[in-house]
């Protein structure tokens, strides 16, 4: 059969088009070699990575590290002679605990957040003609009370707790501060709030009795105490000895609303800062954290612009760093006691593994 040259050429062109179209179709079905195929995460591998980083950290003192997710799974690491049973001086980590104990009195109806010192303290010397006269328990727990001057008695074991609170009022009289306007990190606020809690009860005589009752009711801090500078004159903003295990249980109970109701906890987590007079967080790490009741609301920026708070914490001047992550409901602690003023060093331990910890928590 005769086929013309033109028909033959048309047939060849048609065949080539079929081959090209078929090849393109098949190539679309194949995954490009550069595409990353998702691989399931491994909690065990992430855990090993966290431990490796903690082992490699350069630090001036031993420490213990602990983190626990919402399911109770945890990672524990101890450096040198430190363990979670080691007794450490609290420094400012006690602020969170003290605020929770005082809020327990509010929840039980003994105190009101609008109460003023003079409502409970008969020797309170700030009179009605001064701005400070209007400070409330809310102002005290949020460190906005205007009590910025710390008398020496706060650090004297031989001082009397109640007399020292009176000295706080005397030393701050006439300072011109307006309660509720300026956040100023100091020990004065919590000391006055604690004395108000003791006096409001009437059936107890000291902070130690109030703390003992808290221990019995909650089962918390069985191996801890308020004993600095002394048992008779405890500094509520920084005067505990605690173990890591004790603080871990406190963090778990706080997260789970076992200590306080969800509404009381929400009050503790409410931002109360309008302006900042003094912030050790900004001084040490350059981050403009805000404050609730006895705890920091972390904002990892030089200017506070966080629409939602991810971490709450109460780091201490010796480098201990207890925290709760609100978004994923995990908590942890860096337990240590370095030199005074080494808050940034303990915080840096967690920062070194923060990304891996968050990956570990999310990994199912």
Is 61 a member of any domain?
yes
Secondary structure E strands in 213-255? 225-226, 240-243
Is 25 a member of any domain?
no
**Parallel, antiparallel, or unpaired for β 225-226 and 240-243?**
antiparallel
Q: Can you give the pLDDT at residue 14?
A: 45
Which CATH number characterizes residue 83's domain? 3.40.710.10
Q: Can you give the pLDDT at residue 195?
A: 98
Q: Can you give the pLDDT at residue 40?
A: 76
Show the tokens assigned to 121: 């303290």
Is 30 a member of any domain?
no
Is 19 a member of any domain?
no
| pLDDT tens sequence for the chain (364 residues) | 444 444 434 444 344 443 333 343 334 333 333 333 335 799 999 999 999 999 999 999 999 999 999 999 999 999 999 999 999 999 999 999 999 999 999 999 999 999 999 999 999 999 999 999 999 999 999 999 999 999 999 999 999 999 999 999 999 999 999 999 999 999 999 999 999 999 999 999 999 999 999 999 999 999 999 999 999 999 999 999 999 999 999 999 999 999 999 999 999 999 999 999 999 999 999 999 999 999 999 999 999 999 899 999 999 999 999 999 999 999 999 999 999 999 999 999 999 999 999 999 999 8
What domain range is 47 assigned to? Answer: 43-362
- The DSSP-derived string for 74-103 is EEEEE-TT--TT-EEE-GGGHHHHHHHHHH
Is 17 a member of any domain?
no
Backbone φ, ψ for residue 312 (5° rounding)? -115, 150
Distance in angstroms (rounded) separating the CA atoms of residues 240 and 246? 12
Is 303 a member of any domain?
yes
109-151: pLDDT as tens digits: 999 999 999 999 999 999 999 999 999 999 999 999 999 999 9
Instruction: Say how many domains are in the chain.
Output: 1
Is 10 a member of any domain?
no
Is 22 a member of any domain?
no
């Amino acid at each position: 059969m005769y086929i013309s040259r033109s028909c033959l050429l048309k047939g060849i062109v048609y065949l080539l088009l079929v081959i090209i179209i078929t090849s393109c179709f098949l190539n679309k079905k194949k995954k490009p070699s550069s595409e990353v195929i998702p691989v399931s995460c491994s909690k065990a591998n992430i855990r090993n990575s966290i431990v490796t980083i903690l082992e490699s950290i350069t630090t001036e003192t031993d420490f213990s590290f602990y983190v626990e997710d919402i399911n109770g799974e945890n990672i524990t690491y101890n450096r040198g002679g430190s363990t979670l049973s080691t007794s450490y001086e609290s420094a400012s980590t006690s602020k969170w605990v003290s605020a929770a104990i005082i809020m327990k009195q509010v929840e039980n109806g003994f105190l009101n957040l609008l109460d003023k010192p003079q409502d409970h303290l008969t020797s309170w010397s700030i009179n009605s003609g001064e701005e400070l006269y209007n400070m409330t328990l809310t102002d005290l727990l949020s460190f906005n009370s205007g009590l910025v001057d710390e008398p020496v008695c706060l650090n004297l074991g031989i001082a009397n707790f109640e007399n020292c609170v009176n000295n706080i009022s005397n030393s701050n009289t006439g300072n011109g501060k307006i309660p509720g306007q300026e956040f100023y990190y100091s020990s004065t606020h919590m000391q006055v709030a604690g004395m108000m809690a003791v006096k409001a009860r009437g059936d107890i005589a000291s902070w130690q009795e109030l703390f003992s009752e808290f221990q019995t009711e909650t089962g918390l801090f069985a191996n801890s105490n308020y004993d600095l500078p002394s048992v008779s004159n405890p500094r509520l903003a920084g005067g505990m000895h605690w173990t890591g295990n004790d603080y871990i249980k406190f963090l778990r109970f706080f997260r789970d609303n076992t200590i306080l109701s969800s509404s009381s906890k929400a009050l503790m987590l409410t931002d109360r800062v309008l302006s900042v007079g003094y912030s050790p967080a900004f001084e040490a790490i350059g981050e403009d954290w805000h404050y609730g009741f006895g705890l920091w609301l972390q904002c990892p920026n030089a200017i506070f612009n966080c629409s939602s708070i991810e971490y709450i914490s109460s780091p201490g001047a010796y480098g201990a760093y207890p925290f709760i992550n609100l978004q994923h409901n995990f908590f942890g602690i860096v337990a240590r006691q370095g030199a005074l003023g080494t808050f940034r060093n303990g915080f840096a331990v967690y920062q070194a593994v923060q990304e891996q910890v968050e990956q570990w928590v999310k990994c199912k």
